[in-house]
A and B are shown apart, each in its own frame.
Chain A
Amino acid sequence: MIDQMEPVPKDTEYDLYFGPAHPGSGNFGVKLKIDGEIVTSARADPGYLHRGFEKLMEYRTPLQNAVLSDRLCVLEPLNWNLIHAEAVDNLMGIDVPERAKYIRVIMAELSRIQSHIIWYGVFSKGTGFDTGFKMAFGYRDYILDLFEMITGGRVYPAGYICPGGVRRDFPNGARDKILKVLDKMDEMIKLEELENPALDARAKGVGILKVEDAIRLGATGPVLRGSGMKTDVRKDEPYEIYDKLDFEVPVRKESDVYARYMIGIEEMKQSIKIVKQALEELPEGEVIASNLERPKVKVEIPEGEVYVRNEVARGEAAVYMVSDGGSKPYRCKIRGPDFLHMIPVLEYLLKGAQIADVPAIYWSLNICPADMDR
C-alpha cells in the first residue's frame, strides 16, 4: 500500500512581494522567492517613483533646474542642489565667492546629518524599534526649522544652492541657532549610541558584504566604508572647501548591518565637526557671483561637457552635463548612488537571508528610491 501513495508536493515555496506599497519599503519593491524561512532569490523591481528628471532638465534653464534638483532626493535636497550648481559653475567658468562656498558646505553637511537621522529612524522602524523612528523624526525637525529660517522652506530649499553661489545670505542669528541645533544633534547621537540588546541581536553578523563583493557590485559611500574600504570623495577629490577642513573618514571592518549602522552615527559626528569648523572660519563678503546676482531668464551656457562627483549621504553621486551653447543643457545625466545599492547589492545580500532579516538588510544600505528611479 505504501508505495502506491503519491509523494507530498513541496508546498513550502512561495513568492513574497516586499513593497512598493509596503510601509517598510519606501516607494520601491523587491520580489522575493521564499522557501520556508529562507529567501532563495530576490529581484529588485524599480520604476515606481520614476519622474523623468533627465528629460525635464533638458527643457529648463540652469536656475529652473536648480529648483528641480531639490526633488532628486527628498531626504537631502541641498546636496543635490550642490552637485547641480557645481556642474553649471564648471561649464560656465564662474568664480564662486568664498563665503558662498562656506555656506554651501555648511548647508550640505546639515543636510547630511538630517539624512543620516532619517536613516537611523527608518532602520529602527524596520527592525521593530518604533521609538527610534519617532525620536529620529522629532530631532530632524530641529534641522528643518533651521532650513526654514535660512532657505524659506522646510524640506525643499528651492534651489538655495544655485549656480554662482547661494540665493540668500544667512539671516541674523543664524550662527547661534545652528550651534544650538548642533547641540541637539549631539543629544540625538547619544541616544543612538545607547546599548540596545534587541538591535544587537538583529544587526550583528547579518547581511555580510565583503569588501571584494562591495567593489565588484559597485557600492560606494557608507556601504563601502562599512565593508572596510577607506574612501570618500570629500577626501579623494576635494570640492568646495573640504581640503581646508579637518575631519576623518570612519571605516569599519565587520562588513555587516551593524557596521553600516555605526558608520552612519560616526559620520554624523564628523559632519557636526565640519559645520563647527566652517562656521568659525566663515568669511564676510558676497554670497553670489556678481553676474548672476539677479536671476536671468536667459543664461548662455558655453559649449562643453563636465562630470562632477560629490559625496552625498548615500554614497557617490554625480552629474554629467553636456551643453551645445544654448541656454538649456543638451543632456544631463544623473548618477544616483542608490542605483547600485538597491539593485545588485541588495539582490546579492538578500539571497540566502532569513525573512526576518530582510528589513534590516534593506534599510542598512541607506536606501532612497527617489534618486535611483529619478
Chain B
Amino acid sequence: MKLGILPKLLQNLFSKPMTVRFPHESIPIPDGYRGEHAYDIDKCISCGLCAKICPNRAIEMVEASNEYKEKYPKTYPKIDLGKCCFCGLCEDICSKDAIKLTKNFFLSTFDDSNMVRYPISKLEEQRNS
C-alpha cells in the first residue's frame, strides 16, 4: 500500500498552525486596504460626485443639522455602510481627497443605526457643544 501522505502527517504533528489566534494577534493589514471611510467635511466642496458614482447608492447628500447650518450651508455625503461594497470609487473620484478609505474593518454591530455615517458625527457635535 502506498502511503505518501505519512511523512506530511508526521511533519504536521510538529509544525506550527497556519492560523493566528485572532483577538490576541492578527495579520498586518497592508496600505491601500479598503475599509471604513474617513470623511473630512472641511475639505469637501459638496460636488456630489461620490453619491453619483456609488454603485450601490450607499451615499446620499444631506444637509447639516440646524445648529451647523450656518457653518456648513451645503449638502454633504451620508454614508450607509450597510449598503456599501467598499469598492473605493468614491475615494478615487474625489478631487479634494475628502473621502478616504481606512484600514478599519471592525464594522460588525448589533445596532443598525451604527451603520450610518453622518457628515457631522455625533462625537464631533458633542465635542463642539
Contact = CB atoms under 8 A, between A and B. Distances in A.
Interface of A: 60, 63-64, 67-68, 131, 138, 141, 145, 148-149, 152-153, 156, 158-159, 167-168, 171, 191, 194-197, 294-295, 297
B24 interface: no
B23 interface: no
A195 B34 contact: no
A138 B87 contact: no
A195 B4 contact: yes
B27 A167 contact: no
Given A60-B55, A68-B55, A145 B27 contact: yes
B34 A64 contact: no
A152 B34 contact: yes
Contacts of B30: 148-149, 171
A295 to B, nearest CB: 5
A145 B18 CA distance: 13
B47 to A, nearest CB: 10
Please give me the 4 A-B residue pairs with the lowest Cβ-Cβ distance, nearest first: A158-B87, A64-B55, A195-B4, A195-B2
Given A68-B55, A145-B27, 5 more contacts: A60-B55, A63-B89, A159-B87, A167-B88, A194-B8
Contacts of A156: 85
B59 to A, nearest CB: 13
Contacts of A168: 32
Interface of B: 1-5, 8, 18-19, 27, 29-34, 49, 52-53, 55, 85-89, 92-93, 95, 101
Contacts of A195: 2-5
Given A63-B53, A194-B5, A152 B32 contact: yes
Given A158-B86, A297-B49, A197 B93 contact: no
A68 B29 CA distance: 24
A152 B55 contact: no
B34 to A, nearest CB: 4
Nearest to B51: A297
Given A153-B34, A191-B8, A297 B53 contact: yes
Given A148-B30, A191-B8, A67 B87 contact: yes
A194 B18 contact: no
B52 A297 contact: yes
A295 B89 contact: yes
A195 B8 CA distance: 12
20 contacts: A60-B55, A138-B19, A141-B18, A148-B29, A148-B30, A153-B33, A153-B86, A158-B86, A158-B87, A158-B89, A159-B89, A194-B4, A195-B4, A196-B5, A197-B1, A197-B2, A294-B92, A294-B93, A294-B95, A297-B52
B31 A295 contact: no
Nearest to A68: B55
A171 B32 contact: yes
Nearest to A71: B85
B33 A148 contact: yes
Contact of B93 (A141, A152, A297): A297
A67 B5 contact: no
A232 B55 CA distance: 34
A64 B89 contact: yes
A149 B103 CA distance: 12
A191 B8 CA distance: 8
A101 B32 CA distance: 22
Nearest to A153: B34
Contacts of A191: 8
A60 B55 CA distance: 7
A194 B2 CA distance: 9
Contacts of B53: 63-64, 295, 297
Contacts of A67: 55, 85, 87, 89
Nearest to B19: A138
Contacts of B5: 131, 194-196
A158 B85 contact: yes
A152 B33 contact: yes
Contacts of B93: 294-295, 297
Contact of A167 (B3, B92, B95): B92
Contacts of B27: 145
A124 to B, nearest CB: 12
Nearest to B103: A152
B57 to A, nearest CB: 10
Given A68-B55, A141-B18, A158 B88 contact: yes
A148 B92 CA distance: 18
B17 to A, nearest CB: 9
A319 B4 CA distance: 44
A106 to B, nearest CB: 17
